[in-house]
Amino acid sequence: MTPRQQELVRTSFSLVLSQEERITELLYQELFRLEPSTKALFRGDINEQRKKLMRMLQIAVENLGDKATLQTMLFNLGMIHQSYGVEEHHFVSFGKSLNFALKSVLKDAFTPEVEASWIAAYHYFAVTMKNFPHGTDAVQVPHN
Ligand code: HEM
């Protein structure tokens, strides 16, 4: 990501937060439409999950400039996701769903440049989550 893209993701995030309910609703709706099999992986309360996703995105966006902190966090998150049964290809439909939700809700504010910046940010998050050091002791997280 370029510094300009980081800045655009950061500055557009306040708008995302102000519309987080609608965005996360659309995101999961679209994910389950594109990849119906993922629905069964969500065993907890989906409304709580929507909040957890947004809080994590917020922390990730705030730490875009601190790659070391971000990497540790995303490696952990990636390990947890593997234990939830999330597969690598799911990240593609999740990314498309996030993009769809942002575009639908932010409308004109989601300019091509802002869109490209979000795609780059999501790509970075997803690649880092998928590339956690495999073979080390995985963190154990209780399922709901
Ligand atoms: C940048 C991408 C993503 C972020 C930031 C993210 C964030 C999170 C967070 C914060 C949690 C809660 C973890 C906890 O309970 O401590 C979570 C849980 C989960 N995520 Fe993700 N996630 C991402 C991508 C994905 C993808 C691609 C899938 C695939 C379907 C997925 C499926 C799940 C599932 C199944 C759970 C467990 C939900 C439950 O317990 O009901 N996530 N995610």
- Whether the pLDDT of residue 144 is over 70: the answer is no
> What's the pLDDT tens digit per position in 61-119?
999 999 999 999 999 999 999 999 999 999 999 999 999 999 999 999 999 999 999 99
Q: What is the CATH number of the domain that holds 56?
A: 1.10.490.10
Task: Indicate whether 103 belongs to any domain.
Answer: yes
Task: Indicate whether 11 belongs to any domain.
Answer: yes
> What's the pLDDT tens digit per position in 120-143?
999 999 999 999 998 755 555 655
Domain ranges, residue 89? 3-130
**Largest separation between any pair of C-alpha atoms in the chain:** 45
Q: What pLDDT does 8 receive?
A: 97
Task: Indicate whether 41 belongs to any domain.
Answer: yes
For a ligand 1 pocket test, name from 1, 48, 49, 62 the mutation site with the most ligand atoms within 8 angstroms of its C-beta: 49
> What's the pLDDT tens digit per position in 13-53?
999 999 999 999 999 999 999 999 999 999 999 999 999 99
Any residues with Cβ below 6 Å from ligand 1, and which?
38, 41-44, 49, 52-53, 56-57, 77, 80-81, 84, 86, 90-91, 94, 125-126, 144
E strand or H helix that includes residue 121: helix 112-130
Dihedral sign for Cα atoms in the order 38, 16, 95, 61 = negative
Report pTM.
0.93
* Of 83, 85, 74, 89, the residue nearest 131 (C-alpha): 74
* Of 106, 111, 91, 114, the residue nearest 38 (C-alpha): 91
Domain count, the chain: 1
Q: What pLDDT does 133 receive?
A: 92
> From CA 27, how far away is CA 21, in angstroms rounded?
10
Task: Indicate whether 32 belongs to any domain.
Answer: yes
